[in-house]
C-alpha cells in the first residue's frame, strides 16, 4: 500500500503523516511507502516503512505527474491556497485550488489505476440564501473564490469518479480548531488564535462578536476522519463522492467558556475584541447549521465537546500546559 499526501507540509498533512506512521496499515494492508509532498519538502516522521519528502508545484501538470508515481494506491489531497489568500489573489486560487486539483485528477486518469483519492473540500462551499439546515443535498452556493474553487473540484471529483478514472472521496472540512502553529491567511484563523495564543500566554484578537456561531472540528478527529474516508469501500459511497465531515456548532462564547472550564479564567482575559469588517464579511457568508448525516452514517465522527478540543490541544501542542500570566 503506497500512500501520498499532497500538502503534507501543512499542519493537518503533518498530523496525518504521523498518524499513518503510527498505524502502519491502511485499507487492511501494510503501508509499504509514504510520499509527502508540498511547496517545500515536508518534515518526515519516524515510520516502520520508507518515507520520502518531495517538493511539488501542484499548479504544474508536469510536477504533479512526477510526484504521483505509478503504483500509488491512496492519495490524500490537502494542498490549497487558504480562503483570504484566494480572495486576495484570484489567479493563485484558480491555479492551485481548481487547476491543481484538476492536475491531480488528470494524473490519476493517466495512470489508469483508479487510485483512492481523499480530497479536502471545505464547508466554505456553502453560504448565502439557502434554507437551514445545510445538508448533503443543499445547493453549493459559495460566497468566496476559495469556496467556488473547492466546489468546482468537488464536481470534477464526482465526474472523474463516475468515469472510473479515480476513486474519489471529497470531505467538506469544518473549520479546524484548535489549530497549532502560526496564524495563516485563512479568514478563519482567529477561530484558533483566540485559544492558542491565550493558552500560550499571549494576546489574541477576536474580530467577531461572542455570539458568532460556526461549525468546528478538532484536529484529532479530522485526521481520524480522513483515514476513515480512505478506508471506505467505493460501493458505500454511490455516485456523489462528496460529503460534509462531521463537526459541531459552537458560538465563540461557548468556546471561550470551555477554555475557561479547562484552563481557568486567565486565558480569556488575553482576548482583545476588535471588529474587522473584511473578516466579518467573509465569515458571515458561511453557514453554521450544518448536518453531516451521510458521513456520520459511514462512521465518521464529530467531537464530543469543545472542552475536549482544548484538552487535546494542551496534550498535543502545548505539553507544558497553559501559561498563566
Q: Could you give the residue numbers annotated as active site?
A: 146
- Is position 90 an interface residue for a copy of itself (rule: CB under 8 A)? yes
CA of residue 190 relative to chain centroid, distance = 16
- Is position 130 an interface residue for a copy of itself (rule: CB under 8 A)? yes
Nearer of residues 151 and 208 to a copy of itself, judged by Cβ:
151
Cell of 211: 455570539
In the chain, the N- to C-terminal Cα span, in Å, equals 48
Residue 116, beta-bridge partner list: 74, 167
3-state secondary structure of 37: strand
User: Shortest Cβ distance from residue 144 to a copy of itself (Å)?
Assistant: 8
User: Sign of torsion, CA 76 316 181 255?
Assistant: positive
Q: At what angle do helices 252-263 and 306-317 cross, to 10 degrees?
A: 50
- Is position 208 an interface residue for a copy of itself (rule: CB under 8 A)? no
User: Shortest Cβ distance from residue 122 to a copy of itself (Å)?
Assistant: 14
**Residue keyed to cell 479547562:** 262
Residue positions counted in the chain: 325
- Is position 238 an interface residue for a copy of itself (rule: CB under 8 A)? yes
- Give the strand pairing for 271-273 and 242-244: unpaired
- Is position 164 an interface residue for a copy of itself (rule: CB under 8 A)? no
- Is position 97 an interface residue for a copy of itself (rule: CB under 8 A)? no
User: Shortest Cβ distance from residue 238 to a copy of itself (Å)?
Assistant: 7
**Residue keyed to cell 481523499:** 118
Burial of 221 (0-12, 13-18, 19+ CB in 10 A): buried
Residues 50-89, interacting with a copy of itself (CB under 8 A): none
Residues 134-163, interacting with a copy of itself (CB under 8 A): 137-143, 145, 148, 151-152, 155-156, 158-159, 162-163
- Is position 312 an interface residue for a copy of itself (rule: CB under 8 A)? no
Nearer of residues 137 and 265 to a copy of itself, judged by Cβ:
137
Chain contacts with a copy of itself (rule: CB under 8 A) = 90, 128-131, 137-143, 145, 148, 151-152, 155-156, 158-159, 162-163, 238-240
Amino acid at each position: 500500500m503506497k500512500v501520498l499526501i499532497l500538502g503534507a507540509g501543512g499542519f493537518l498533512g503533518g498530523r496525518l503523516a504521523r498518524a499513518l506512521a503510527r498505524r502502519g496499515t491502511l485499507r487492511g494492508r501494510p503501508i509499504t511507502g509514504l510520499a509527502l509532498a508540498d511547496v517545500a519538502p515536508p518534515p518526515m516522521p519516524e515510520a516502520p516503512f520508507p518515507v520520502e519528502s518531495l517538493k511539488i508545484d501542484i499548479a504544474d501538470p508536469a510536477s504533479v505527474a512526477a510526484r504521483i508515481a505509478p503504483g500509488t494506491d491512496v492519495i490524500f489531497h490537502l494542498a490549497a491556497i487558504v480562503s483570504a489568500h484566494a480572495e486576495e489573489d484570484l489567479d493563485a486560487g484558480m491555479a492551485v485550488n481548481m487547476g491543481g486539483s484538476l492536475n491531480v485528477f488528470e494524473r490519476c486518469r493517466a495512470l489508469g489505476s483508479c487510485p483512492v483519492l481523499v480530497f479536502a473540500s471545505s464547508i466554505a462551499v456553502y453560504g448565502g440564501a439557502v434554507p437551514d439546515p445545510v445538508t448533503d443535498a443543499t445547493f453549493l452556493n459559495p460566497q468566496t473564490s476559495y469556496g467556488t474553487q473547492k466546489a468546482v473540484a468537488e464536481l470534477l471529483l464526482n465526474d472523474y469518479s463516475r468515469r472510473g478514472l479515480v476513486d474519489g472521496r471529497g470531505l467538506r472540512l469544518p473549520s479546524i480548531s484548535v489549530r497549532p502553529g502560526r496564524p495563516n491567511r485563512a479568514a478563519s484563523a482567529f477561530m484558533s488564535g483566540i485559544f492558542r495564543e491565550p493558552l500560550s500566554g499571549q494576546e489574541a484578537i477576536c474580530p467577531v462578536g461572542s455570539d458568532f456561531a460556526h461549525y468546528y472540528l478538532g484536529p484529532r478527529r479530522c485526521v481520524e476522519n480522513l483515514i476513515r474516508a480512505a478506508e471506505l469501500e467505493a460501493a458505500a459511497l454511490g455516485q456523489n463522492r462528496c460529503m460534509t465531515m462531521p463537526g459541531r456548532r459552537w458560538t465563540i462564547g461557548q468556546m471561550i467558556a470551555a477554555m475557561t472550564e479547562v484552563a481557568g479564567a486567565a486565558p480569556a482575559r488575553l482576548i482583545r475584541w476588535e471588529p474587522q469588517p473584511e473578516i466579518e464579511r467573509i465569515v458571515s457568508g458561511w453557514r453554521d447549521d450544518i448536518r453531516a448525516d451521510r458521513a456520520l452514517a459511514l462512521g465518521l465522527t464529530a467531537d464530543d465537546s469543545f472542552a475536549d478540543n482544548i484538552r487535546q490541544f494542551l496534550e498535543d501542542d502545548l505539553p507544558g500546559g497553559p501559561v498563566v500570566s
